[in-house]
């Protein structure tokens, strides 16, 4: 196996699950998320020589995924009238269906995009504020502020009585 293939296999093994989960969160659809992950890895394979710093491999992959999502799926508007209801039921079977998880996802949906994305990159990708700043094109300080406000907002939605503490 060539060095490139070994490196690619290492990247996929280490990061494919995080990529897929992030893709799920972006697409809200397992099938689209798989397509997005496939396309991300395909692009990563094709441009693996561009990855200079292997420590930054994960953020590099997430950048590819975000770009690919913007390119392919941002304008995707499914025609809901043609979607089978049974299929819709099956779509969410892989998610955590507990009440707490449902409430949390609903709370996340209430967050503004600028707060939600850094939070999801931290939760799903495990990125530092600096890495999130690079991915989103904002300063580290701005990321910290957004994360703080995002969690503050979540606390106020999920446990209103406890969010008064500051």
Partner 1 sequence: MQCIQFQKNYAADPNALSQHLMDHKKNCPECQWFADEVSKIDDSLVNAFKIEVPKYLNKSLLQIPEKQDKKAYYSGFVKFAMAATVILVVGMTFFLRSKPLYEPNSTQFVYEHISHEPEALAATEPVKHAVVRTTMSDFGIAFNSPVGKITHVRICPIGNTHGLHLVIEGKNGPVTLLFLPTLHINQKIPVQQYEFFGYITPAEVGSIAIIGGANEPLEKIETRVIEAIEWL
**Contacting positions for partner 1 (CB under 8 A):** 4-5, 8-9, 12-13, 16-17, 20-21, 24-25, 30, 34, 37-38, 41-42, 45-46, 94-96, 100-101, 104-105, 108, 119-120, 122-124, 128-129, 143-145, 147-148, 151-152, 154-155, 158-159, 162, 165-166
Closest CB to partner 1 among residues 79, 138 = 138
30/72 with CB nearer partner 1? 30
Which residues make Cβ contacts (< 8 Å) with residue 139, sequence separation at least 6? Answer: 133
Dihedral (CA of 65, 68, 72, 73) sign:
positive
Query: Closest approach of Cβ 81 to partner 1, in Å?
Result: 27
DSSP helix, strand, coil percent of the chain (3-state; round to 5) = 80, 0, 20
User: CB of 143 within 8 A of CB of 118?
Assistant: yes
| Closest distance to partner 1 from the beta carbon of 82 (Å) | 24
CA distance 19 to 30: 12
């Amino acid at each position: 196996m060539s060095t490139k293939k070994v490196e690619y296999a290492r990247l996929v093994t280490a990061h494919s699950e995080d990529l897929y989960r992030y893709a799920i969160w972006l697409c809200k659809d397992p099938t689209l998320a798989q397509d997005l992950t496939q396309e991300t890895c395909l692009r990563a394979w094709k441009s693996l020589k561009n990855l200079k710093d292997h420590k930054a491999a994960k953020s590099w992959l997430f950048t590819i995924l975000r770009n690919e999502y913007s390119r392919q799926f941002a304008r995707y508007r499914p025609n809901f009238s043609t979607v089978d209801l049974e299929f819709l039921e099956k779509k969410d079977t892989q998610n955590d269906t507990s009440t707490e998880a449902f409430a949390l996802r609903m709370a996340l949906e209430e967050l503004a995009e600028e707060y939600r994305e850094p939070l999801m990159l931290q939760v799903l990708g495990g990125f530092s504020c600096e890495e999130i700043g690079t991915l989103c094109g904002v300063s580290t300080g701005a990321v910290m502020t957004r994360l703080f406000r995002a969690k503050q907002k979540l606390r106020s939605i999920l446990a209103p009585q406890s969010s008064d503490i500051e």
